[in-house]
Chain A
């Protein structure tokens, strides 16, 4: 498995402070060869979109465990559109109830990851989307 040469932004939108999942994913993606940037906590969607564009990333991973994912994801997608950067792939991770997953995909998210998913599956899903 390799994500060599791929640039990935892991971001924490909203106010949720649970950053372990985001950091674990960041470490795993780095081990898989990607260049990983992590935003740190409490970033606005506008900030995340700007960093994604400035850093010319291929993928944005949004991590959310506070139940606010629907609003925050559509916000981020809108901000990326404003930068004409809709080609950047968006993945979502965190506490995402089953019922919201289809809606997120519908909104333009490429994949939804939960805590019990093996890291290998996460990496493979991102690889597949980028190939």
Chain B
């Protein structure tokens, strides 16, 4: 690799990572919004709170989960003791895709990328000793989000915590799963119904809980530009709003509980402006398309991941610097919650050592850098205001393009969006291969003796999957199977009707210790499965 060692990268081209050409100088007459408005007031370009982080810092929310519920419960207690302020549950793929641990499709994936949560019995252990009224919990769960949310409600019932006290988030954004992340189960229509059920139920029973986190993150990580990330995400958001209105939802209630989720990559100013543009554009779109003018409902709240595919396996300690820069961008963009990836996160479950550095990165920015002392400190900068305008314009174009195609549902069912993302990823990869995109330590500035060693290796307990299986068998044997059958039957009947909210039925199933696999199988009987369009 001495080839790349000797190579010096070209001076960076004057365009953003999304391809927006940057003029050499930006003057006030080039701005569409020379006055960006007041923080805390619509359209919220400068932030949704008048005082930014002065009243409340963002939530430090580290994603974690692995092996058995006991293993993960121990890690949560460690993170909470280290000063983390919210939990973020990583679930294993069988739980995400709706298979029980003993399913032949699932066996080799149990407890690998997250914790196995096959029934309420596991959820009770996962949150053992953690008071659900005092912590906000975020679940990266989509295909089976309604079931996991039902389980969380059931744990609260068991702990004696009133449901209205629950705070947290389920990702519950199925549209982007079809495009990028891949944990879809049912076809698009019934999935949209299930999502509306959770949101409408949550508005009523857990009013402080975010029943959806509309996520661009995965589309971005898969290959989309920042502009496309924002465009696809807002288009999905509009599709959910439309569905909720069709279901008779009250916009003043549900719009207020919609939240969003993005990746932060390395183009610092583009990322900051992405969030400023997102707030302004979302408020405008709600008003233009649905006549939603309630200032509270127009507030665009979002969380972020710093890291993701911007991290490299090459010279992994450089990732600490990358995450630091991305976290700065997130805070200058006004994020409500931040997850900082550990430097080894791209290739293993982080060790306690690497997880701690990731959390400390946020704490240093929050408590030492001074950023939290003033809201939107970049507001009024010619470049930042100009780029915010540009991002907004370009994002509108992406949304219009999807409208013209016939909407997101059609674009997904045809495989149109999936194919676009794949093309983008291919382009991106070619640019790195050609050396047009510089990745320090990977395609430039490599050393001949580079080993890419990342220190301590996280040791997955080889017995964990076995313990999950044994526990699962035990729960199956000990539960009241008549009760299980009865609650699943009720779920089946409710699913056959279009206008019945399924949440109460799912909660009943959870209380009876019905498994995720059983609930999903029951719904599959009614709705079938999504047929993935293969289009290259």
Give the interface of A toward B (CB within 8 A): 14-20, 23-24, 26-28, 30, 36, 38-42, 44, 66-68, 71-72, 75, 95, 97, 99, 114-116, 118-120
What does DSSP make chain A's interface, helix, strand, loop or mixed? loop
Inter-chain contact B534/A24, CB cutoff 8 Å: no
Residues on A with beta carbons closer than 8 Å to the beta carbon of B222: 18, 20
Inter-chain contact A15/B425, CB cutoff 8 Å: no
Contact of B113 among A28, A67, A71 (CB under 8 A): A67
**Cα distance, A14 to B97, chains bound together (Å):** 11
**Cα distance, A35 to B516, chains bound together (Å):** 39
Inter-chain contact B348/A97, CB cutoff 8 Å: yes
Inter-chain contact A15/B109, CB cutoff 8 Å: yes
Residues on A with beta carbons closer than 8 Å to the beta carbon of B104: 44
Residues on A with beta carbons closer than 8 Å to the beta carbon of B181: 17-18
Residues on A with beta carbons closer than 8 Å to the beta carbon of B106: 15
Residues on B with beta carbons closer than 8 Å to the beta carbon of A18: 181-182, 222
B108 at the A interface (CB under 8 A): yes
**Cα distance, A42 to B182, chains bound together (Å):** 9
Q: Which residue of B lies closest to A95 (CB)?
A: B347
B26 at the A interface (CB under 8 A): no
Inter-chain contact A14/B532, CB cutoff 8 Å: no
Inter-chain contact A66/B112, CB cutoff 8 Å: yes
**Cα distance, A72 to B106, chains bound together (Å):** 11
Minimum CB–CB distance for A123 against chain B, Å = 11
B485 at the A interface (CB under 8 A): no
Residues on B with beta carbons closer than 8 Å to the beta carbon of A115: 313
Pick from B113, B177, B181, B460 the residue with the most CB of A within 10 Å. Answer: B113
Contact of A119 among B112, B180, B433 (CB under 8 A): B433
Q: Name B200-217 residues within 8 Å CB distance of A.
A: none
Q: Which residue of A lies closest to B97 (CB)?
A: A15
Inter-chain contact A16/B347, CB cutoff 8 Å: no
B99 at the A interface (CB under 8 A): yes
Inter-chain contact A15/B96, CB cutoff 8 Å: yes
Residues on B with beta carbons closer than 8 Å to the beta carbon of A20: 180, 222-223, 421-422, 425
Residues on B with beta carbons closer than 8 Å to the beta carbon of A39: 534
Minimum CB–CB distance for A111 against chain B, Å = 17
Inter-chain contact B182/A16, CB cutoff 8 Å: yes
Minimum CB–CB distance for B447 against chain A, Å = 15
B105 at the A interface (CB under 8 A): yes
Q: Which residue of A lies closest to B112 (CB)?
A: A67
Inter-chain contact B422/A15, CB cutoff 8 Å: no
**Cα distance, A39 to B113, chains bound together (Å):** 23
Q: Which residue of A lies closest to B415 (CB)?
A: A40
Residues on A with beta carbons closer than 8 Å to the beta carbon of B421: 20
Residues on A with beta carbons closer than 8 Å to the beta carbon of B177: 17
Q: Which residue of A lies closest to B433 (CB)?
A: A118
Are A38 and B534 CB-contacts (below 8 A) given A16-B182, A95-B346, A97-B348?
yes
Inter-chain contact A114/B313, CB cutoff 8 Å: yes
Inter-chain contact B426/A66, CB cutoff 8 Å: no
**Cα distance, A54 to B197, chains bound together (Å):** 43
**Cα distance, A24 to B432, chains bound together (Å):** 13
Inter-chain contact B429/A119, CB cutoff 8 Å: yes
B318 at the A interface (CB under 8 A): no
B183 at the A interface (CB under 8 A): yes
B430 at the A interface (CB under 8 A): yes
**Cα distance, A69 to B430, chains bound together (Å):** 26
Residues on A with beta carbons closer than 8 Å to the beta carbon of B402: none
B312 at the A interface (CB under 8 A): yes
B51 at the A interface (CB under 8 A): no
A/B interface sample: 20 pairs, CB < 8 A: A15-B97, A15-B183, A16-B109, A17-B93, A17-B181, A20-B223, A23-B425, A23-B426, A23-B536, A27-B536, A28-B426, A39-B534, A42-B105, A66-B109, A66-B112, A68-B112, A72-B108, A114-B313, A116-B312, A119-B430
Residues on B with beta carbons closer than 8 Å to the beta carbon of A66: 93, 109, 112-113
